[in-house]
A and B are shown apart, each in its own frame.
Chain A
Amino acid sequence: MKIDPRIALIQQIPLFSSLSPGALSSLATRLIERSYTNETVLFTEGERGDRFYIIEAGQVAIIKAMGSNDERLIGIRGAGEFIGEMSLLNRDGVRTATARVRQPARLLEMTRSDFDALLSQEPTIAYEMLQVLSNRLRVAHNESIRDLMEKNRQLQIAYNELQAAQEQIIAKTVLDRELEQAREIQESLLPGKIPTLPGFDIGASMVPARTVGGDLYDVISLDPDRLAVIIGDVSGKAMPAALFMAQTTSLLRAEAAHDPSPERVLDRVNQHLLAANSQGMFVTLIYGVLHRQSREFCVIRAGHEFPLFRSPKGELSHVAGVGGPLIGLFPHPILVPQPIELPPGSTLLLYTDGVNEARDPEGNFFSLEDPEVAALLEGPATAQNLCDTLARRVLDHQGGAPQADDITLLAIKSR
């Protein structure tokens, strides 16, 4: 570039606008012209610098905190502008920002020694420098304020969100506690220790699908020779089912204590549930009375799954029979009791549909017809062990699939 255009360029810069023509001339000759490609970093924030650049052509980006989360572009300087002047004034010469070429640029460079020489010749430049500095300071200051205000706003939002989240956690903790209390109450409704009857071994196992469930079972000692045995499944799951289950269990106990005959108990419970039932809920039940002397289980199957019977010889069959409809729906259900003989060596398994409708991740149902089940029934395990093992088998079969329904098993082994 010829000298004259260079002088014109330099003269445009406010810092040098008051220089005499002679000073401008000698300044022009002292400047070194250099070309830089795009993306070149001229200088980095924090390093020592000793030169100042005037842009003849191209663009340079001024970047604060480059490479960090707080990186931001402070400005873009183009032809006729200058950069790096702060290091000329700052005796330590530390760069206050990073300069990176944005378009291929041609720059005129001035070192500090050149600048100092210029300053001693033309002291008025100092005033121009002050003007430039105070402008830059004001802009930077305003930007800092804006920055801080934005950060504060974001902090406020984050704080509000945290508060809301905390409230949700507290609410959930309260609900969890209540759910846990409900679970304890429900557990207390189930027989703690199963009453015994000479000649029989009875066990039961229950795995709710949620914290509380809609399945029920009960074994009630009526007198030294008789037990009432009950299993049931309320429509639905979780809390609504659990509440209905509690109601049903209590009603069954109350009626059985009054008069344990299966037809009477189920009919009375049905009437009570109809009267109290606004939600259209219903329950399937098996209610029977086990007689010690006759070894007869006199039972009504009200809409419930067919019990599985293992004869002393090892033959398995589902106990068919008319039974009756599910309870809580019909005002005058026809309930037909049925005596099931339980000779020594036989086993009767009652269960809810959480067992035979349990599915593995592929969708295959758990089958009570499986030879493994037959083998379990065959074995010498106690009724309790039998139920616990079967419940585990159902859960194993389920594998990773979610538990769709409450699982309940009750076994009566005749010895």
Chain B
Amino acid sequence: MQIKTESVAGTPALSIIGLEGELDASNFKDLIGAAQKLYEQGTRRLVLDLSRLNFMSSSGLVALHSIARIFRGDAPSDLEAGWSAIHAMGEDVQRGTEPSVKLVNPQPKIASTLQKTGMDRFFAIYPDLQAAVNSFHDNR
């Protein structure tokens, strides 16, 4: 799988990660690593472009969830932060969806996986990059 990152000027820093190929157990950690790196470099808004992703296994769900936690400022190994992060994530579900990480244009099979698992209620999904990037400015 190819991971392409690009940053968009503005504050707080916004980055786009484009995925091409297949996301599975062999490479999901690479995706988490890429997101972690962006966060450490100052990115606080992330758009995941899924339009060229052909396949996503359950490891992909783990990656999406881990990325959401990272963008909450939650280092994965921290127990306390983990619990409060999940709490916080859930509260966002009450209000809407995860505010810092957005998904773009998943292919049908992946879209149905997101729907089947309920992840589509957790991440906002947009039909194209423009809509996703704009949503940050509109604050939803």
Chain A residues within CB distance 8 Å of chain B: 233, 235-237, 274-275, 277-282, 284, 302-306, 323-326, 329-333, 353, 357, 404-405
Decide if A303 touches B117 in the complex (CB within 8 Å): yes
Residues of B close to A331: CB separation below 8 A: 86-87, 90-91
Shortest distance in angstroms between B80's beta carbon and chain A's nearest beta carbon? 9
Among listed B3-11, B37-45, B60-68, B126-134, interface-contacting one = B60-68
Shortest distance in angstroms between B99's beta carbon and chain A's nearest beta carbon? 16
Decide if A278 touches B79 in the complex (CB within 8 Å): yes
Decide if A325 touches B118 in the complex (CB within 8 Å): yes
Residues of B close to A305: CB separation below 8 A: 116
C-alpha gap A330/B57 in the complex (Å): 20
Given the interface contacts A331-B87, A332-B93, does A280 sit within 8 Å of B118 by beta carbon?
no
C-alpha gap A329/B82 in the complex (Å): 11
Q: 1/0 per position for B47-91, CB-CB distance to A under 8 A?
A: 000000000011101100110010000001101001100110111
C-alpha gap A17/B66 in the complex (Å): 91
Decide if B90 touches A332 in the complex (CB within 8 Å): yes
Decide if B82 touches A325 in the complex (CB within 8 Å): no
Q: Name the CB-closest residue of B to A306.
A: B116
Q: Is the interface of A mostly helix, strand, loop or mixed?
A: loop
Of the candidates B65, B66, B77, B87, the one having the most CB atoms from chain A within 10 angstroms of its own CB is B65
Q: Name the CB-closest residue of A to B91.
A: A331
Residues of B close to A282: CB separation below 8 A: 61-62, 65
C-alpha gap A331/B94 in the complex (Å): 10
Q: Name the CB-closest residue of A to B88.
A: A331
23 interchain pairs (CB within 8 A)? Answer: A233-B58, A275-B83, A278-B77, A278-B82, A280-B82, A281-B62, A282-B65, A303-B116, A305-B116, A323-B118, A325-B118, A325-B119, A325-B121, A326-B61, A329-B65, A329-B86, A329-B89, A330-B93, A330-B118, A330-B122, A331-B87, A332-B94, A404-B24
C-alpha gap A181/B20 in the complex (Å): 41
Decide if B93 touches A235 in the complex (CB within 8 Å): no
Per the CB 8 Å criterion, the residue count for chain B at the interface is: 28
Decide if B57 touches A357 in the complex (CB within 8 Å): yes
Residues of B close to A302: CB separation below 8 A: 118
Shortest distance in angstroms between B125's beta carbon and chain A's nearest beta carbon? 15
Decide if A404 touches B61 in the complex (CB within 8 Å): no
C-alpha gap A80/B58 in the complex (Å): 83
Q: Name the CB-closest residue of B to A326.
A: B117
Decide if B90 touches A280 in the complex (CB within 8 Å): no
Shortest distance in angstroms between B68's beta carbon and chain A's nearest beta carbon? 9
Decide if A404 touches B116 in the complex (CB within 8 Å): no
Shortest distance in angstroms between B83's beta carbon and chain A's nearest beta carbon? 7
C-alpha gap A303/B117 in the complex (Å): 3
Shortest distance in angstroms between A162's beta carbon and chain B's nearest beta carbon? 35
C-alpha gap A256/B57 in the complex (Å): 30
Residues of A close to B121: CB separation below 8 A: 325
Residues of B close to A274: CB separation below 8 A: 83, 86
Residues of A close to B89: CB separation below 8 A: 329-330
C-alpha gap A236/B24 in the complex (Å): 11
Decide if B58 touches A280 in the complex (CB within 8 Å): no
C-alpha gap A280/B86 in the complex (Å): 8
Given A303-B116, A325-B118, A330-B90, output 8 extra A-B contacts at Cβ < 8 Å. Answer: A235-B62, A274-B86, A278-B79, A278-B82, A302-B118, A325-B119, A404-B25, A404-B57
